[in-house]
């Protein structure tokens, strides 16, 4: 757990974990190859991994350690964000081991347990190990039961700490999430469970807390007296790729709204924590999630969409139902927009418009705070019509930064006012390169810092928001939109009925 009493100088020092092992289940999958292995290399390259650090890969392949090292080499070299150094790789890869087996293979898990026992003495890891579930959610209970059966999840038996990292989606609804929470908390202690949401590892997401609570400039106007509305947008220009089997059973709401976007909303809406202690931050986020209100009329206050064939970035894109693996007649949504509220003193009456979609014109994730217009504008009516709402826009990706939009005089001999933008970009303001989200989060797991990891209560409360939407949408058809458009027309109409419009992202 992060220590709120660390001095400012301590916080600037590199955090080096204790000697430990990282066990990756599903190590040959996309997540491991594209994110986890490159993150491990980058941590090693920055000097942030301890002596004796070991990576144990577990997958259903008839491989040896050499085969695993070759796969890891290609993955790390392709995905690394830091400069490639062969000497760093050689030291790191000498500590890679592979354990073949399926999740129902008792002998394979017995072998894994024995390997960890051997490493306790040989590598001096003192029984410390983190288990990363880079596997389909349906396999979580099976692997958890194997770790319980072999005693690998037991801190006392291992002689060190044992932690588990679980990828989203955490359950398919509130019922399954509660059952999974109960199981994982029975196998591991709750303090050793890390439910990962990679969006919380992004520098610009963490900067929401710095922007709000390190400055006196924004917090006085961060409330319903000055804020007209908040828009949270996550647009992707890609389709579903090879994820048809998962995506068609989940849809945009379960895949993204329940986790990424509600976490962003919680960070925007939360009160200032008493300290940067993980428990304090999670407590404030949970208050916001509990205060979320759904539209009184879900049909009027939400929109589901599904993309048809069209053009994105000058290239022809097939419709969702033409994607490989998607059944004909599927009613799974690839776009969701919903009007939410937060029922507390700070935010009462302020609509939070949240939208997510695939095959949009471009890739962008941003949070836009739209302020109320000035109560009186003593300018020419023609100028007043040209002015929009003041806006504070936090760009999460890809052009990470913050934009402040406000009215200003146009140079000249007359009082002519127009909207302008002040633009802060991370890449220009800082010489340090931002670590990739998984790099930060893997390091947090190894040092035991749970600040950026939602707990069970947050997950369950998020499902209490999404489940009523899913229930109301049952049996309905998604609204069509062309690939390359900003979603269905009904989404624009939803805001227009309230005299607003989506910000051009």
The pair of structure tokens assigned to 413 is 């001999």
- pTM comes to 0.90
Direct distance between the N- and C-terminal alpha carbons of the chain, in angstroms, rounded to an integer? 37
Picking from 126, 146, 167, the residue at the C-terminal end of a domain is 167
pLDDT score of 264 more than 90: yes
DSSP annotation string for 267-325: HHHPPPPSSS-HHHHHHHHHHHHHHEE--SSHHHHEEEEEEESEEETTEEE--GGGSTT
The answer as to whether 95 is a domain residue is: yes
Residues 290, 209 share a domain? yes
Residues 79, 212 share a domain? no
Spatial separation of the C-alpha atoms in residues 235 and 362, rounded to whole Å:
7
In this prediction, residue 1 has a pLDDT band, given cuts at 50, 70 and 90, of: very low
Residues 142, 218 share a domain? no
* Residue 376 bears catalytic tag: no
Residues 380, 248 share a domain? yes
Residues 152, 226 share a domain? no
The answer as to whether 477 is a domain residue is: yes
Residues 46, 163 share a domain? yes
Q: For the segment 351-364, what is each residue's pLDDT rounded down to a tens digit?
A: 999 999 999 999 99
Which domain CATH number covers 72? 3.40.50.720
The answer as to whether 188 is a domain residue is: no
- E strand map for 198-245: 227-235
Which domain CATH number covers 433? 3.30.360.10
The predicted pLDDT at position 384 comes to 57
- Give the mean model confidence (pLDDT) for residues 335-342: 98
Q: For the segment 133-157, what is each residue's pLDDT rounded down to a tens digit?
A: 998 888 899 999 999 999 999 999 8
Place of tokens 């993204």: 256
pLDDT score of 8 more than 50: no
The predicted pLDDT at position 14 comes to 65
In this prediction, residue 278 has a pLDDT band, given cuts at 50, 70 and 90, of: confident
Residues 282, 150 share a domain? no
Residues 264, 150 share a domain? no
Backbone angles phi, psi at 259, to 5 degrees: -115, -75
Query: Could you list the residue range(s) of the whole structural domain that residue 491 is in?
Result: 200-496
The answer as to whether 185 is a domain residue is: no
Q: For the segment 95-106, what is each residue's pLDDT rounded down to a tens digit?
A: 899 899 999 999
For 415, which DSSP code?
A: -
Sheet with 96-100, edge to edge strand ranges: 96-100, 54-59, 21-25, 129-133, 162-167, 193-196
Would you tell me how many other CB atoms lie within 10 Å of the CB of residue 376? Answer: 5
The answer as to whether 344 is a domain residue is: yes
Picking from 149, 167, 185, the residue at the C-terminal end of a domain is 167
Percent of the chain with pLDDT over 70: 93
Left, alpha or beta for 230 (phi > 0: left; psi -120 to 50: alpha)?
beta
Picking from 142, 167, 192, the residue at the C-terminal end of a domain is 167
In this prediction, residue 23 has a pLDDT band, given cuts at 50, 70 and 90, of: very high
The answer as to whether 492 is a domain residue is: yes
Spatial separation of the C-alpha atoms in residues 63 and 473, rounded to whole Å:
46
User: Residue 151's closest CA among 183, 112, 195?
Assistant: 112
The residues near 387 (Cβ < 8 Å, ≥ 6 apart) are 373, 377, 407, 417, 418, 419
Handedness of CA 216, 218, 223, 224 (dihedral sign): positive
The predicted pLDDT at position 206 comes to 83
Write the secondary structure of 119-169 as one string of H (helix), E (strand) and C (coil): HHHHCCCCCCEEEEECCCHHHHHHHHHHHHHHCCCCHHHHCCCEEEEEECC
The answer as to whether 136 is a domain residue is: yes
Is the distance from CB of 247 to CB of 321 less than 8 angstroms?
no
Residues 155, 214 share a domain? no
pLDDT score of 486 more than 90: yes
In this prediction, residue 187 has a pLDDT band, given cuts at 50, 70 and 90, of: very high
The pair of structure tokens assigned to 37 is 């292995």
In this prediction, residue 128 has a pLDDT band, given cuts at 50, 70 and 90, of: very high
Q: For the segment 189-208, what is each residue's pLDDT rounded down to a tens digit?
A: 999 999 988 888 888 888 88
The answer as to whether 227 is a domain residue is: yes
Residues 230, 102 share a domain? no
Residues 142, 81 share a domain? yes
State the pairing for strand pair 417-425/401-409. antiparallel
Is the distance from CB of 35 to CB of 81 less than 8 angstroms?
no
Catalytic residue among 111, 198, 260, 376: 260
Residues 469, 428 share a domain? yes
Number of domains the chain is built from: 2
List of long-range contacts for 75-80, beta carbons under 8 Å, 24+ apart: 75/32, 75/33, 75/34, 75/37, 75/38, 76/37, 76/38, 76/40, 76/41, 78/38, 79/33, 79/34, 79/35, 79/37, 79/38, 80/38, 80/41, 80/42, 80/45
The predicted pLDDT at position 49 comes to 93
Is the distance from CB of 437 to CB of 201 less than 8 angstroms?
yes
Spatial separation of the C-alpha atoms in residues 188 and 450, rounded to whole Å:
15
Question: Mean of the per-residue pLDDT values for the chain?
Answer: 89
């Amino acid at each position: 757990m992060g220590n709120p009493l660390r001095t400012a100088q301590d916080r600037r020092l590199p955090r080096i974990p204790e000697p430990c092992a990282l066990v990756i289940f599903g190590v040959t999958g996309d997540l491991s190859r594209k994110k986890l292995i490159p993150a491990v290399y980058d941590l090693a390259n920055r000097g942030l991994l301890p002596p004796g650090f070991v990576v144990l890969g577990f997958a259903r392949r008839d491989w040896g350690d050499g085969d695993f090292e070759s796969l890891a080499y290609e993955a790390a070299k392709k995905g690394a964000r830091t400069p490639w150094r062969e000497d760093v790789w050689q030291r790191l890869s000498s500590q890679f081991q592979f354990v073949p087996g399926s999740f129902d293979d008792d002998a394979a898990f017995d072998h894994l347990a024995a390997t960890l026992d051997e490493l306790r003495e040989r590598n001096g890891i003192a029984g410390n190990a983190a288990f990363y579930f880079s596997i389909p959610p349906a396999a979580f209970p099976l692997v958890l039961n194997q770790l319980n059966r072999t005693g690998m999840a037991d801190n006392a038996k291992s002689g060190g700490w044992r932690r588990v990292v679980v990828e989203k989606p955490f359950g398919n609804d509130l019922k399954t999430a509660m059952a999974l929470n109960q199981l994982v908390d029975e196998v591991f202690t709750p303090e050793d469970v890390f439910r990962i949401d990679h969006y919380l590892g992004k520098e610009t997401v963490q900067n929401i807390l710095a922007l709000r609570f390190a400055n006196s400039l924004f917090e006085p106007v961060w409330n319903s007296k000055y804020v007209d509305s908040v828009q949270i947008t996550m647009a992707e220009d890609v389709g579903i790729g090879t994820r048809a089997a998962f995506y068609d059973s989940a849809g945009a709401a379960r895949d993204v709204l329940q986790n990424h976007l509600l976490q962003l909303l919680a960070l925007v809406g939360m009160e200032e924590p008493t300290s940067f202690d993980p428990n304090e931050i999670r407590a404030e986020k949970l208050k916001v999630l509990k205060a979320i209100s759904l539209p009184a009329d879900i049909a009027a206050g939400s929109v589901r969409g599904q993309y048809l064939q069209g053009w994105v970035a000058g290239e022809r894109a097939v419709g969702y139902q033409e994607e490989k693996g998607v059944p004909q007649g599927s009613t799974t949504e690839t776009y969701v927009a919903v009007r939410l509220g937060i029922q507390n003193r700070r935010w009462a009456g302020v609509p939070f418009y949240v939208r997510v979609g695939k095959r949009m014109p471009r890739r962008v994730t941003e949070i836009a705070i739209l302020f109320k217009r000035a109560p009186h504008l003593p300018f020419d009516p023609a100028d007043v019509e040209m002015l929009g709402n003041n806006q504070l826009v936090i760009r999460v990706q890809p052009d990470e930064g913050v934009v402040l939009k406000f009215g200003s005089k146009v140079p000249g001999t007359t009082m002519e006012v127009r909207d302008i933008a002040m633009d802060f970009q991370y890449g220009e303001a800082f010489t340090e390169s931002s670590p990739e989200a998984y790099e930060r989060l893997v390091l947090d797991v190894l040092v035991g810092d749970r600040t950026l990891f939602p707990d069970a209560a947050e997950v369950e409360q998020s499902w209490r928001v999404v489940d009523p939407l899913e229930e109301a949408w049952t049996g309905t058809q998604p609204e069509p939109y062309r690939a390359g458009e900003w979603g269905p027309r009904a989404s624009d109409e939803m805001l227009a009925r309230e005299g607003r419009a989506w910000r051009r992202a």
